[in-house]
Each structure stands twice: as C-alpha cells, then as structure tokens.
Chains A and B, each alone.
Chain A
C-alpha cells in the first residue's frame, strides 16, 4: 500500500525543538532541526535515534529542509550535521542561509562563554554545516533527485521564512513551519496556491488561541520604551512603527539604534527587499525605508544625556555588550523602563529580571538594584485558530496533521477542521508515527488505436462513470502504456495462443449420430433465439463460433457423445451451452 509516514521527533509537548521526519514514496525528508531553549542537557535536541538505529543518516535521509532562522527550528542543525553526522543537502531560503549562522554563533557564545557548557558545537562546525546548504528561491521547483522535488512558499513571520512543498510523483506534503496570515509593517502574509497536497503539516501551538490584534500590541509598545533586541527580526518592524508614530505624535525625544550587529541587520533587510511586504517595496523606491529620519546611531556617551530617549540595543538577553552597559546605568531609576522582546536563556540578566529578581549580582560582587520597570512583550507573529483555517482553505489538502499539541486539548479544533474542510485531522505525539494511506494516480498513456476502437463501439464517454477498457499494459522503463492486445503482440513479437475447451456431454439416444445432431440443432435453434445457430453440411452444429459434434460412444451404441468445443473468448456461452445440453434433449415429437 502506498503511504506517507510522519513522525515528529523529540520529547515533551512544549514549543521548541521542531523536527519532523517525513517518508513519502520511498524518500525520507527531515523538516527543521530545532533546539529547545529551555533545557541545558540533551533534552534540548530532537531524538535522532528515531530516524535510524543503525546506518548512516546521510544514506537514509534524502534531504533536510529548514523553514526559518529561529533557533527552535535550526538551533540543532550544526549538532546534527557535524556531531551526529549528516553530509547530504540542507535546503533553506537565501535570507535564512545568511542569517542562520549569525544566530547560531550568537547562541554558541552564550552557551559556552556565559554558561560554560562543554560538548557544544564549535564555530568551525557552524561553518562546516553551512557549507552543506543549498539556497532556494520562492516558488522555484528544486529537484533534489530524479523523483523528489521541493518548492518554497512565502510564510511571513520573519525575514526569509518559508513553507515547503515536498513532492514525489503525484504525492505531496506541505510543511508550514511558522507562518502568519496577517501582514505586518515590514512583512507580508503567508500565501500558498491550491496545490491540494495529500497532507498539510502545521504547528498547533497557537491553534487554540485567538490573537490580539497587531494594533493593540503596537499600542502597548508605544506606551512604553530600552529595548534590547535580537539584532534581527522584530527590530525593523519596531523601527518602522516608531518612525511612523513619532511623526504623527510630533515627538521630540530621540530614538537610537545601537551599532554593530544591528547595522548588519539593516544591511540584510536591504539585501532582501523582495522578501518584505508590498508597501515597503513600493516606498523603498522613493526613499529607503530602512534609513530612518528619527532614528540615529547610538554612541555610548548618549546614555548619560539628560532627558527621555528610546534606545534599541543588543544583545537581546542583556547578557553582555552595549545593552547590558546601558541597563546598568539606567536600572536604578524607577522612571526608566526596559522592554524585553523575547525569550531569555537561563543564566542571563534578562532571564533574571523577567523572573522578578530585583537585586542582581554583577561581576566583582557588585549588587545592582533594579528599580526601573521591566516589561516582557511578545512581538512574534504566529497564525492563530483563524489563521490555520485560512491556510487550510488556501491549500486544500486531503489531510491535516498538527504537531506540538496535546490531542485531548485539541479535539474541538480537530472537529472544526474535519467538518469545515471534510478532511482527516491527525495529532501525533512526539515520537509517534502517523501513517497515511495514499492512492497515488499512475499516469498511463492509451494508444490512439485502442481509443478509436472503444469509441467505435458507439457508447459516448460519461465524465462521471468509469469506463471499462480491455487492453494490455506495457511497462517499460518508467513508461506505462495501454495498447490493444494485437498491438502488444506485434510490439513484443509474440504469437497469439488460442485456448480451446472441449467438453463431452453424454446423451441417451439410440438413433444415428446424424439424427442426434439434427435433434440438437432443432433444440438449440428454438431455445437460443438471440444467437446464430447453424447446421453445417458435415453434420456439426454451430452456435456463434462454438462447435458441437455428435459421435457414437465407442462402447455403448445407445449413448451418443456430444463434443462441445469453444475458444477462451466464448467461455461464457460455452459453459452455458454445456449445462443446457446436460439437461437433455426434448423428446422427438
């Protein structure tokens, strides 16, 4: 039975560590290779032993696909390729390829330098891993090999994020990664065509939420302001927002952007303008949306200037560098505020203040008292329950699979999807394999001669009813053709065999064979009104092409033997005649 198998890897139900194994028509693909930021031990990596207990991953997997640069989707990639061992191709979009190594290196530094972890991947491993990457463009069909092809679709969410279609023959799977269905200020909304995959795989993390509108999130942010940022991702969005509202609100307070990594970020965004939304692309021509009027480069001396100001600073978890410097200067004043834009790893200052700690021990045993307000804001854009329904409506899959959720908590969503779209919805736990039977269509070419012969039979084709055709299927290389039997014989150089059946029916009849034959003829003629029954000069009787001959029994003169003979093609009529004759002949009048 042809089937598609899906196994989400890793343990635990919480978000993080996205890694899904898909087997489709004999091909094996790994989707994403994420790290769980909450754990410091092996639990942070997916459980790769599910893939294959023995044997090399490179031989087993046909390719790895990474959807976007967030660490919970690519964080374990260097570990996987360099420490576990994989040398095959790794596919991702160009922006992802450019940005991934930066985040991986950033994270590696925190893990090793800050937390003193051993057994972590090295900078060289990140470089070696990225050498295996093949970049793909949006909507470009990429042939991984003769049979397997992939295509990336725009996913919104972050720069370079993509949804991927994986196709082998007529079977296909679409993996959404993280996406969002509402455009924001710098990115568009996810979009996919009516590709009708056998299966759509999507995250269920936010499937049971109803999302607060983007405007309200922005409003909240505007009410407040020191933002240590992950240099890439939301910073651009927030800059554009502030720039817009500073104009409208005629604000005078300066906005600063700390230099270094963030300059690189703007550089990347300019590079990847095609990946931003329509509005930005349009205005970029008039003026560069990433050059801001109200936002200037920061100088460390500014931290001591009087008066209010807004500063975007890195690194994002306040664990080192400029953001930590500014934080130390400003922490003691309750009129100040720090906004943390994302998850902070345990051990960093960011994590401590988000846990409510207000007295921090800095190096040299100095204690820093934190009087400034601390706000935790989430800026990441995910699709919610409504968004998932929209995407399923766009792609029109035959089946839907949700990962990262608890089945019991998603029964309603499952019913909703199943009812609205008349599809089956699966929710495997991590490590559990879902097997989907598929009925792939096999294209077969029908010969013109055969088609013409069928048409000549007079019946018009009916689009709604299947039509029975007799022919010979010739499978050569990867080619399937349906031809008439005669043509097949000719092509293959075979002679046609004739199968002939002969049956003996014993009749009690004392007269001569010739008279028995006449009796048989009269009987059959009267019974088989729809068939051509003939009495030939040599005494034999024919019914269509079936031959009946009467002979005397070799030992018993009172018994006549009827030889009924027919070809394989006349099997039905032949059997019928035989049973009819076995019933005996009517008495001669």
Chain B
C-alpha cells in the first residue's frame, strides 16, 4: 500500500488528470470511435471474451467547465461476446461495423454495433488466404463509400477485400512469405506495411506491387522483432520503427533507405512479448511519440533534432502507473499491452496492461519542449 500512496502524491506533480480503471478482462486493443468512445476486447484463449464500446467520462471530453462535471467513470455503451481471442480490432469509419482478428487466424470476424440496443453482434466473416491457423492476420481499413479491409499475415497473403461484396479488390501478388507485424492505411490508395524483420514499405494500390522500401535494419537486430507507425506531425521524419531491444528508427517516407536516426531507447529489458510492441505518434504535438511493450511503463519521447546514430536519448515522460497501482496483489509485474493518444487533447494518453487495468493520463511537460 505504501509505495502506491507515495506514487499518488508524486502523481500530483506529474499529471494534470489521472484516471485508473479495472476492466473485467485485459485488452490488447484500444480503438477510437470518434473522439469520445473507445473499443476494447479480451484476448483470453479458453473463455468468452468481451468486446466493449466505452464512452469516456464526460470531463475528459469537454473543453471547459470540467470542474462542474463530477462523473469520472467510463460508460459501457455497447458490448458483445467473442469466442475467439481478439488481437486486433478496427472500426470502419462512418459505419456501425467492426472487424476483428485473432486465433485461429483463418478468418476475420465482422461485427455490428446495434442501433436500438446495447449489443455488438457478429454478422459475417471474411476468409483469409493464409490457412495457417497459428498466424493471425493484421488488419487495416480503407474507409470510403465502399470500405475495404486490408489484411494479411504474410506479404504473400496481403489483400484488400470489399467489405460488402467480399470481392478482392487488391492483392499483393508476391510469393515472398515474410511475416507482417503491422499494417496501416495512409490515404485512399496508400498503405504502409512493416514486417517482423523490420522491413518496411509504402504501397500504392493503384500499381502492381512496387513498394518503396527500406534496407533491412542492421545486424544488431538479427532475430529481432519490429513494428512501425507512420504519421508524425511537424517537420522531420514521420515514420518510426521500434525493435524488440528498444531500438528506435526514424525515417522520412521520401527516402526509406536512409534512416534519419537510429537510437537506443533506455528500456530495462527486451520486450518479453514482441507482439505487444507499440510505437505511436502524438496527433496533437510536434515530433512526439510514445512506445510501450517492454514492461509496465509507457515512455514518451520528443524526437526534435534527433539525427544520426548512437545518440543517447531519454524520455520526456515515463508513465509508471501500471506498476504502482497494481492493487491485485498478483506477483508478476504487469506488462503494458497497448496505448493510444487522445485525438484532441494533446497530452492525454490511454494505456492498458495485462492485469486488465486501463489508465487515462494527462502528463505534465516538465521540460516544456514538446
């Protein structure tokens, strides 16, 4: 109890706002619906998992007069049950549909959020080419009048399927069976992929497969695991790639072969579960990103004027709440499973951990640089 109370006192200085919740089951997904709701889903293998649509406490959604809103709780707006574990969940914008992926990985599940009740129902499935049940396909959504689902577990099985007709509208058409770790849609015709090896590429779906790619990261990452995200704000590199040893590589999309910088983040251990590696760019701050998946913390970095290799970097902020507020008495320290930035509030993040905790926190910039 004591360290928790000490941390709480410290937190008065470190955070503006801080909320801690206990979900009924741990989640590996935090997907926004608009800027007021998020989706979470369980990933246990032997029991029914819940998919929940949660509405943020009102005081986190309004811009002024927050003090007059006493409500601090999440509201479960919709819920559904999944027999499979859910490892990835994407919301199809401007619809009431969700797409999930999990194990066994031979199909994707499409869900519908009911309009007149609070139920999330399974409505259809999307077959995937890869029949290896132990691999789960990554998912990204091309949102348009006719939404398309980009999915694949390997480069060779990458394709885009029209959600309504289930017809394949794009196929990578390559025989290269490299495993994928992340997929991200950038605009109506472009998507980015990152393989577990660290190989990254940007693909234009209007052309036959000719992605602009990077050179594979150096030998230091032999046998390593990578994930990536594009989308940095402000001048400077806008693609970040994170390796399981804590290496962070920043790239400019115009020239993926020349990384802008390659640094080693001070993480205490390599990630115990590389599938949980996350790197995200802050939508409301310039040159700011966050990483997680190594331990029970989330680290925030200001990457302004990073350049070259071998630079010593320190996070501008480390969220340790999941370690200190572990009130369950479980011996194993929790591992952060995922995190995400609030779309509108520049310094607010949400993070989830393996002990089913969910935190919403607004960190104080003591360096006032970011």
Mark A residues whose CB is within 8 Å of B. 206, 208-213, 215-220, 222-223, 244-245, 248-249, 354, 356, 373-378, 384-386, 389, 408-413, 415-416, 419
List B contacts of A384 (CB < 8 A). 73
Query: Which residues from B are CB-within-8-Å of A373?
Result: 67
Contact flags B74-90 to A (C-beta < 8 A → 1, else 0): 11111111000000000
| Nearest chain B residue, comparing its CB with the CB of A339 | B67
From B8, B117, B119, A219 is in contact (CB under 8 Å) with: B8
Is B93's CB within 8 Å of the partner chain A? no
Residue from the list B4, B6, B8, B76 in contact with A210, Cβ < 8 A: B76
B68 at the interface (CB under 8 A from A): yes
Which of A210, A213, A219, A410 is close to B54, meaning CB atoms less than 8 Å apart? Answer: A210
Chain B residues with CB under 8 A of A411: 117-119
Residue B19 is within 8 A (CB to CB) of chain A in the complex = yes
B12 within 8 A of A: yes
A513 → B minimal CB distance (Å): 80
Q: Which of A210, A216, A245, A356 contacts B18 (CB 8 A)?
A: A216
**CB-based contact A378/B72 at 8 Å:** yes
With the chains together, A213 CA to B77 CA distance in Å? Answer: 20
Within 8 A of A (CB), among B326-354: 327
- The answer to whether A216 and B70 touch (CB under 8 A), given A208-B118, A210-B76, A411-B119, is no
- CA distance in complex: A85, B243 (Å): 75
CB<8 Å pairs between A and B, sample of 13 = A210-B21, A210-B22, A211-B73, A212-B74, A213-B325, A215-B325, A219-B12, A249-B9, A376-B67, A376-B70, A408-B116, A412-B76, A413-B118
Q: In the complex, how many angstroms separate the beta carbon of A323 from the nearest chain B beta carbon?
A: 18
A-B CB proximity, top 3 nearest: A412-B79, A378-B70, A212-B72
* Residues in B whose Cβ lies below 8 Å from that of A408: 116-118
Report the Cα distance A248→B69, complex, angstroms. 29
User: Which residues on A sit within 8 Å (CB–CB) of B118?
Assistant: 208, 408-413
Taking a contact as CB atoms closer than 8 A, the residue among A208, A218, A412 that contacts B8 in the complex is: A218
B364 to chain A, nearest CB (A): 12
Describe B's contact surface by its main secondary structure.
mixed
Chain A min CB distance to B91 (Å): 18
Task: Enumerate chain A residues within 8 angstroms of B76, measured Cβ to Cβ.
Answer: 208-210, 385, 412-413
Chain B residue with the shortest CB-CB distance to A211: B73
A430 CB to nearest B CB, Å: 20
- Closest A residue, CB atoms, query B356: A386
Chain B residue with Cβ nearest A208: B76
Contacts of A354 in B (CB 8 A): 68
* CB-based contact A216/B9 at 8 Å: no
CB distance from B331 to the nearest CB of A (A): 21
The 8 A CB mask of B30-69 against A (1 = contact, 0 = none) is 0000000000000000001010001001000000010111
Contacting A at CB under 8 A, from B8-33, are: 8-9, 11-12, 17-24
Given contacts A211-B72, A216-B72, 11 further A-B contacts (CB under 8 A): A212-B73, A213-B327, A218-B8, A248-B5, A356-B65, A376-B67, A376-B69, A408-B118, A412-B120, A415-B81, A416-B50
Report if A213-B22 is in contact (Cβ < 8 Å); known contacts: A219-B11, A410-B118, A412-B79.
yes
Output the least CB separation between A244 and chain B (Å). Answer: 8
- Chain B residues in 8 Å Cβ range of A206: 73
Nearest opposing residue in chain B for A219, CB measure: B8
- Interface contact A212-B57, CB-CB below 8 Å: yes
Using Cβ atoms and an 8 Å threshold, which residues of chain A touch B67? Answer: 373-376
Q: Give the CA-CA distance A408 to B115 in the complex, in Å.
A: 10
Q: Does B132 belong to the interface (CB within 8 Å)? A: no
- Determine the chain A residues whose CB is within 8 A of the CB of B17 once the complex forms: 220
Chain B contacts for A419, CB-based, 8 A: 48, 81
Question: What's the minimum C-beta distance from A234 to chain B, rounded to whole angstroms?
Answer: 12
* CB-defined contacts of A386 to chain B, threshold 8 Å: 22, 24
Chain A residues within 8 Å of B327, by CB: 213
Contact of A211 among B21, B69, B116, B325 (CB under 8 A): B21
Chain A residues with CB under 8 Å of B4's CB are 215
Interchain nearest-CB distance for A327 vs B (Å): 16
Interface of A is mostly: helix
List of A residues within 8 angstroms of B79 by Cβ: 412-413, 415-416
Closest to B53 in A: A412
Task: Give Cα A385–Cα B9 distance, bound, in whole angstroms.
Answer: 29
What residue in chain A is nearest B66 (Cβ atoms)?
A: A375
**A204–chain B nearest beta-carbon distance, Å:** 12
CB contacts (< 8 Å) of A389 on chain B: these are 24
| Chain A residues within 8 Å of B22, by CB | 210, 213, 386
Q: Is the CB of A412 within 8 A of B78?
A: yes
* Known A-B contacts A374-B68, A412-B79; A210 and B9 likewise in contact (beta carbons under 8 Å): no
CA distance A373 to B6 in the complex (A): 27
- Give the complex CA separation of A209 and B76 in angstroms: 6
Q: Does B71 contact A (CB under 8 A)?
A: yes
Are B11 and A377 interface neighbours, CB within 8 A?
no
With contacts A208-B76, A356-B68 taken as known, whether A248 is within 8 angstroms of B21 at the C-beta atoms is no
A222–B9 Cα distance when bound, in Å, is: 9
CA distance A416 to B80 in the complex (A): 9
Most buried by B among A218, A219, A245, A378: A219
Contact in complex: A209, B9 (CB < 8 Å): no
- Closest A residue to B358 by CB, please name it: A210
Closest chain-B Cβ to A205's Cβ sits at a distance in Å of 11
Question: For the complex, what is the distance from the CA of A465 to the CA of B54, rounded to whole Å?
Answer: 48
B80, A412: Cβ atoms under 8 Å? yes
Q: Measured between alpha carbons, how far is A212 from B17 in the docked complex, in Å?
A: 12
Given the known interface contacts A411-B117, A411-B118, the answer about A210 and B74 at a Cβ–Cβ threshold of 8 Å is yes
Minimal beta-carbon separation of B8 from chain A (angstroms): 6
Q: Please, how many angstroms separate the alpha-carbon atoms of A217 and B59 in the complex?
A: 13
A416 — which chain B residues lie within 8 A by C-beta? Answer: 50, 79
Contact residues in A for B78 (Cβ distance below 8 Å): 412
Tell me whether B9 and A377 are in contact (CB under 8 A).
Answer: no
Distance between B357 CB and nearest chain A CB, rounded to angstroms: 9
Decide: A212 and B19 in contact? CB cutoff 8 A.
yes
Minimum CB–CB distance from B247 to chain A (whole Å) comes to 34
Chain B residues near A356 (CB-CB < 8 A): 65, 68
**Which chain B residue has the least Cβ–Cβ distance from A338?**
B67
Q: In the complex the two chains form, is A209's CB within 8 Å of B75's CB?
A: yes
- In the assembled complex, which residues on chain A have CB atoms less than 8 Å from the CB atom of B71? 378
- Nearest A residue to B20 via CB reads A213
Q: Give Cα A416–Cα B48 distance, bound, in whole angstroms.
A: 10
Select from chain B the residue with minimum beta-carbon distance to A224. Answer: B67
A419→B12 CA distance, assembly (Å)? 42
Inter-subunit contact B74/A209 (CB<8 Å): yes
Tell me the bound Cα distance from A59 to B73 in angstroms: 44
Q: Which residues of A contact B74 (CB under 8 A)?
A: 209-210, 212
How far, in angstroms, from A386 to B12 measured CA to CA in the complex?
A: 28
**Which chain B residue shows the least CB distance to A343?**
B70
Q: Are B5 and A209 in contact (CB under 8 A)?
A: no
Map CB proximity to A onto B153-189 as digits: 1 under 8 Å, 0 otherwise. 0000000000000000000000000000000000000
| Complex contacts, A220 vs chain B, CB 8 Å | 17, 72
Q: How far is the CA of A209 from the CA of B116 in the complex (A)?
A: 19
User: Provided the pairs A208-B118, A249-B9, A408-B118 are in contact, do residues A213 and B70 lie with their beta carbons within 8 angstroms?
Assistant: no
Looking at A211, A384, A410, A412, the one whose CB has the most chain B CB atoms below 10 A away is: A412
Of all chain A residues, the one with the shortest Cβ separation from B51 is A412
Interchain CA distance A354-B22 in the complex, whole Å: 30
Q: A376 vs B70: C-alpha distance in the bound complex, in angstroms? A: 5
